Amino acid sequence: MTKLHNYDKSKATKALADIWDLLTEEQKFFFEENLIVERYKKNESIYKEGDQPDNLLCLLSGKVKIFRDGVGGRCLINRVLRPVQYFGYRASMAGEPYVTSASAFEESLIAVVPMRAMFRLMEENTRLCHFFMHELAVDLGKADQRIVSITQKHVRGRMAEVLLDMLDIYGYDKDKQTLNLHITREDMANLSNMTTSNAIRTLSMFSDEGLIDVHGRCIKLLDVDALQAISDNG
């Protein structure tokens, strides 16, 4: 991790407009004084399960995964983030250590604000409190949906849902078919709660059926409607 002391903070506050626009001029000055920007290399750890949470984090650029180590060394990726999304603050609000870990999928820039500063701002600004209540409620709803998916859907349904989620989060590359995300088979397995061998087998089946085209870590979606039907049917 590298702290970017010379980073133009106005770029970060512009990206964080949904918070910035809620603040008074005095609060904006305080927020900017406490904000720093950090650069993380690909696969670099941002925080680990069991660490004490100290900061509000916001992904400015790049891609980040939130995950938890499971039984037998297996990993479950809870969610993946795109710019601009906030993370890392729930544990601090709950007064507990992190229950997940976070690392960079690719080189990423992250805005960091100490939670002590955020708590002070929230004490002064009810609109800021409402913003984070909404963020937590949305995240809780997504977590509930994910539990249903990974516990009730079959492997094909889970894999189709993951592919569609990646499309929703990261979109297409320039060709309008290839996912804008280079991802390993292991990470695909961890996202869909299956073994790596099952992930490879399921992707191969989708490829044979003409639903996707796979080249290395690049996945091209050829029939989104069919993938949606598979996901809906579980």
pLDDT digits (tens, 9 = 90+) for 72-116: 667 888 889 999 999 999 999 999 999 999 999 899 999 999 999
pLDDT value at 156 more than 80:
yes
Domains of the chain plus CATH, in order, are: 2-128 (2.60.120.10), 151-233 (1.10.10.10)
d(CA 57, CA 230): 35
pLDDT digits (tens, 9 = 90+) for 13-22: 999 999 999 9
Residue type present at position 153: K
- In sequence order, what DSSP letters do the residues of 99-150 get, joined into one string? SSEEEESSSEEEEEEEHHHHHHHHHH-HHHHHHHHHHHHHHHHHHHHHHHHH
> Residue 81, CB half-sphere, CA atoms under 13 Å: how many?
26
Residues of 58-71 as b/e, b for ≥16 C-beta within 10 angstroms? bbbebbbbbbeeee
pTM, two decimals, is: 0.85
**Tokens (6 digits) for 181:** 């995300």
Strands of the chain (E only): list them: 2-3, 36-40, 45-47, 55-61, 64-69, 75-81, 85-87, 101-104, 108-114, 212-215, 218-221
- Asked if 78 and 142 touch (Cβ cutoff 8 Å), the reply is no
pLDDT digits (tens, 9 = 90+) for 108-142: 999 999 999 999 999 999 999 999 999 999 988 88
pLDDT digits (tens, 9 = 90+) for 206-230: 999 999 999 888 899 999 999 999 9
Helix, strand, or coil (residue 195): coil
**Tokens (6 digits) for 45:** 């750890």
- Comparing 32 with 180, the larger pLDDT belongs to 32
pLDDT at 70: 73
